[in-house]
Structures are given as structure tokens and as C-alpha cells.
Amino acid sequence: MLHKISKLSFNISLILSSTLLISACQNEANLANEQENVQTNEAIAGTEQVLTDLITFSEEALAHKVDLDGIETQYLDSKNKLQVIFSKDASIPTMRIEPDSPWDLSNLPAHNIAIDVKNVSESSAHLYLSLENPEGKSQRHSLSLAKGFEGTIFVPITGMEAETETGLWGDAPIWPDAGTMMVWRSWRSGKPDLSKLAKVDIFMIGTLEDKTLEINNLRIRKNPPSDPNWMKGIVDQFGQNTMMDYAGKVKSESELKALANAELAALAASKGPEHRSKFGGYTKGPKLEATGYFRTEKVDGKWWMVDPEGYVFFSHGPANVRMANMTTLTGIDYDAPEIRKRRAEEVTPEDSMGIIKIPNDIKAQNYVISPLRNDMFTWLPDYDHPLAEHYSYRRSTHKGAIPYGETFSFYRANLHRRYGNDGNESYLRKWEEVTIDRMRDWGFTSFGNWVDPAFYAAKQVPYFANGWIIGDFKTLSGYKNHWGLMPDPFDPVFAERAQYTIDVLKRKVKGSPWCAGIFIDNEKSWGERTGTVPQRYGVILDALSKSVQDSPAKAAFSERLKAKYGSIDALNKAWNTNIADWSALDAGVEFTEYSDKLVADLSSLLEALGEQYFVVVHNTLEKALPNHLYMGARMANWGMPDEIIKASLKYSDVLSFNIYEEGVQPHAWDFLEEVDLPTVIGEFHIGTSSDSGMFNPGIVHASDQQDRAQMYKDYMASVLSKPYMVGAHWFQYVDEPLTGRAFDGENANIGFVNVADIPYPHLIDAVKDVTYNMYQQRLEKE
């Protein structure tokens, strides 16, 4: 029923001279010979020094045309290039370049990897590059290539620019004459050792149409000289990029206010889309039963949400409409460790904390914890400045250059500048009012996850409440602990914390019909959908390695296995193991090989783990808030095993997936037609760094703002065409800080508005094209 991600590869014979391929055992004579073969390629960059030609895509090296499911290649003799077609019918069409033995780069000076690329597609192409060492550890980079792009793209591998932990997801550009730098796809903390390079993957993810590139000349180059001022003074007083001008960049406080006033006038004149109910449903559509709360119903073969008045409802709008996670680390800390203490009763994770006021006597104990970060800012307010109220503190970080420290919110400060402050943070009240007006004008029907609770009480736009189950319960470690360890749902403390969290939600929601549904948790570390056994079942393997005294999950699994097999001999025969007795199993076991029956049991136990999680969450939520939809587990498309999807079906009113691709590919997601449950996209976005002033485009890249708008429309067209889809939420409302959100350094152009609270006009026009017509489009008979 469920698709398998197609990731195909091939090996290419490499024609390399012994003087160009560096090996660990080279003697000094070989190294001298290597230096004689350093080339200068003036056609691409006058200062380029090629240290090692990894592969030139010649007919001799390629040997023959390769035609595989997911990717097609053809040698272009007249251009000495390889044409690569990435298929829309594969989830991850991949070309893998793998030498017979790893390339040894350990004796090279600071270097980067480069490749020549031309995009001959009819649209932009979001290209990925993965570099893997012999241990299987890799780092990823990506870049959007505009239609017609032709040039060199590169990734720094060693040297200051590659190895400096700036605390950012995307850094300021480097070496403008060297080509176009690809964007980091992962944090540098824990960056793998690439002194030996075993594989290079060139691929795309989740495209809606075939993409065609011409590529050639994969090579290792010597890094140009480093700029001693790199990453210094990159942020102005408004939180904007000092290195370039771009549309929407403000030059003065008076300009900021003038732009605000112009928008306020336009919003006051807007009537928004026609035929909308009080709750945003479509009054020209079928009239269904009104229950006073949001619910779901299948109408003429398509799933819908139904608003409290009985009108069909499609949930579309921004997620993360709040001030939390909008601060950035300043590089300052205070000599006061007591401010980092946590309270046992907390239910808000660190990244969802709002502004934390720090007493002046503690601020007086400030010191520079990171000169690198502190030097990024051309201006920060003194502690007695009116804008100093936008300082806060992060007690811990998930990733980045420093573990904790002072933060500042340029976005809040700009709201303060735009609207003034008559006392009691009046600029925030104005922001709330303007945000609601924008929602109406832009045609959005609801907020997504993580909306400021101030909008709960407004009762003007439907919202989704959210809760996190955090606490001192037992946990399990999987292959990819992206946002942390997996809770052990068999631990009674987990149920206690779920009850505590949902009780808090109950007090906030107050049974309001404006609450369209409830999200609990986000992108849990269930495991990967495909891959090796440890990648798929890491949390179960971790549980089995523990003792029954230390792990409630292990105790539950041990009892389940004893009931199934009866004797240890039967289990050993099935698993092809030699576990001494049940006591040895209870003490903890690990595996080096995986028989088919062992894998089947791991699969069964993962489903049991998921079912226990959903039983606890669903049952607790149903008792506390019986009239509200449970929106499922917000599974990421990198972490949604079939077993967990199956477990969630029994307990979710609406399924939810975060789909960061170019759209909803039919071959990848139409299994949901068989599942036949309403589904919402909890997160998606598209961004660009070329003309936004931002250093990182986000997860899905566009080539510029116009391309971003078109890609948004294409994404939404793929959603609205699916009979099982009842909503899609864009992450997020505001661009992330240029110098990275304090929790993990994300600094992407993923907002509808920038740091000065100025909307992106191309994107907003595209939004209106979609929202003003989405009900009519979805109700059309096929």
C-alpha cells in the first residue's frame, strides 16, 4: 500500500592519473609531482586552482548511456557534458559517483568541491549534493538553479569557511569569483571528516516535473584567500543584511512607518474573498450538519473539514504566528547560572518560550561568550534604550556556536518602531490586529500550528492549539534523533505529563468553537521509512538493548515476545540468535545480523510503540476536549515509518504530515486514498536567498521571489487536487532572523513578511490567486 522511495545509483569508471589522485601513502616526491599538476582554469575563475580532477564526464569515463528508474543520463559528445534527467516519478532520483577506493584528500591544502552545471529545464531546479566518507557519514548541500543557469557551483570542505561554527544554518557568501556557493543542509556541529571521500550523490527531492541538467568536471579546488572580515558587521539596526540592497529593505525609521501606514490603508479598504462564513467556510458550497464545532466529512468523494455552522472548510494559513523563536543570540552571556534553571512543572519547550525579562542587576554581569557572533551586529541597544525590552535569554540551544546566552528580537523591535509603544507593549496589540486583517485580506482560513494564544481570545480566525509532552519520563534513542530522543510511552510518567499538558490546553482553549483542532508534539523520532534495519527500527533496537528495570518499553516488549514464542529456543530459531535464556533477554540484547523474522518482530514492536503513544495521547485528549479534532502526530516525511502511520490511523481524526518537497507527488502520497482519512499538511514552505537579503532559502529552494510565488502556486495545486487533503499550513509567518533563531541557528527566507514586517508582494499576490479560488476549484466536478 505504501510507496518505497526510489534512490538509484551507479558507479562511474574514473580515468585519473596517479599524479592527480591523492593517496594516504604518497611520499614527498609524489606530493611534489602533485603540485606540478595544479591547474588554472581561467575560463571559470581567474584564480581557480584545481588540485584533483575527480571526474570529467567524458564518453570514455562514462562508458555508456545509463538509463535507470528515477534518472536518465546521456553523454553529449558535442559539449563534453553529461545530460541528466531527474524524473518526477521518483521520490529521490539520484546519481551516485563512487570510485573503486575512496579519494584521499587528507594532504591537500584548504579546499572546496566544484562542478559545472547548466539548467536546461523549463523551470528552476533545486539540486542537492551529498558528500560521504568511508564510514557512511555525510553532509548535504543544496542550491536552486534558475532556468538557464550556467556556471560553477561549489561547497567548501575544509578551511575557515567550512569549519567555523557560526551558529547559522546559512552563512554570508564567500569568494564571489569562485562560483555560486551551495547552502548547508545540516548543522556543522558533528560535521563528518571528509578527508577521505567515498561517494558523491547528485540528486533532487520530490519534484512535480522532470528536471534536466548538463553537468561536467567534478573537481577539488584550492580555496581562495579567506576574508578576515567574513561574517563581521553583516546585520544593521533593523536586523537586515548590510551586504546588499533588495526590495523590502528599509533605510530609516520614517520609511518603516510610511510603509506600515500604506499597508494599513490598503487593509482597511480590502473586503477579502466573497462567500465566506463567520469561520471561513464556503457559503456557496453544500450546507452540511452544523454541530457547533469543527468536524470532518466526505462529500462527493472528497474529504472536507466542516465549520461549526455546517459549511465546507479548507484549512490554509501560516503556522508559527508568534513572537517565540524570533530572537537571535547576541554572543553575550551573564555570569548568573541561576537563570538557566528549569522548573519541573514546565510544559513549554525552550524554543517556544517568549520574551524572558532579565533583571538589570544580572545584565550588569554580562560578558562576551562568542566574539564571532557578537561581531555580526553593527548595532544593538544599550540596556537603558527603549528598544532594550526586546532582549531575552535562551537557557539552552539545540545546535549552534554557544550553548545558551542573551538574545535580541529585531522583529519585535521593528514593530515597536512601526507602531510605537503607548505602554503595556501596545505595538504587539497592533501587530495582532494587523495580522488578523492580513489573514482576511490574503484569503487565509485559519492559523496553523504554534499560534500566539492571544489569537485564541480574538475569536476572528480559526486556530489549531498545540501542546508538547515534556518531562522526566524515560526515552529511547533512534537512528535520527532530529529534535531529541523519543519518549517512552509505556512509562507511566509519560501519561502523567500528557495529562498535565492537555489540562493546560483545556484551560487555554476553553471549549471554544474557534479551535479547529489539536496538535500534540511534532516530528517525533520514530525512525526512517526506508533504509537499513537500524535506520528504520533504531528506537526498538535501543529498547531491546536496555534492561527491563531501566526501560518500560523493554519490559512491555519482553512480555510480548515471551507470549509469542513461549520458549527462548523458539525465539532463537526465529531470530537466528543464541540468547542464553529469558533473563538474558531481559538484561538487554544487541544484534549484528537481522533475520527476516527478527525484522518482522521489530516492525511489530514499532507498531506497538506507536499504538501505545497514540492511545495515551488520544484518550487523554478525548476526555479533556471531546469536541475538538485530534490532528495526529505531524509526521515529517523523513520520519514516517509505515508502522507508525498504521498505528496512528486508529486514533487520529485527521492525519498530519510535514511535506517539505516541491509538491505532493501522486506516486508518493496517493496511498492516502486507500487509507481514506482526511489529511492536513502541517508544514511546507519555499524560500530564496538570491533577492531576499537572507543567507538561507529554507528547506525547499526557489531561484528568486517570482519563482517562489510560482512554486507556492504549484504546491497548492498539487494539494487541492487530492481528495484526501483538507488543509495545508505554511511554515512560517515571518522570516527567521538573519543571524539565526537562537534555538538552532535556522535563518531562512520562509516568511510571508520580512524582519521589518513588510510583506513579499509576489508571494502575497500568489496567495490571493490560490485562496480566492480554492473553494471553487476544489468543488468542481471532475
Residue 275 zone, left/alpha/beta (φ > 0; ψ -120 to 50; rest): left
Where are the domains positioned within the chain?
A: 28-222, 266-313, 546-595
**Cα angle 592, 594, 599; round to 5:** 140
pLDDT of residue 523: 83
Distance CA 362, CA 275 (A): 55
Quickly count helices (H) and strands (E) in the chain: 21, 35
Residue 589: closest CA among 517, 551, 541: 541
Instruction: Give the strand pairing for 295-299 and 282-287.
Output: unpaired
Distance CA 710, CA 117 (A): 23
In the block, residue with C-alpha cell 551586504: 243
pLDDT of residue 1: 27
SS (H, E, C) 423-440: CCCHHHHHHHHHHHHHHH
Between the CA of residue 183 and those of 144, 154, 729, what are the distances in Å? 9, 9, 25
pLDDT of residue 78: 66
Residue 690: closest CA among 173, 234, 212: 173
pLDDT of residue 530: 83
Residues 6+ apart with CB under 8 A from 510: none
pLDDT of residue 183: 93
Superfamily (CATH) of domain 28-222? Galactose-binding lectin (2.60.120.430)
pTM of the full structure: 0.91
What's the number of CA atoms in the CB half-sphere (13 Å) around residue 50? 22
Residue 719: closest CA among 641, 664, 650, 645: 664
Asked if 461 and 447 touch (Cβ cutoff 8 Å), the reply is yes
At 158-200, the pLDDT tens digits run 999 999 999 898 899 999 899 999 998 876 667 899 999 999 9
pLDDT of residue 483: 61
Per-residue cell: 425 = 507593549
Asked if 404 and 394 touch (Cβ cutoff 8 Å), the reply is yes
Residues of the chain with pLDDT under 70: 1-47, 58-69, 78-79, 187-189, 480-483, 782
Farthest CA pair distance, the chain: 84
In the block, residue with C-alpha cell 531527474: 86
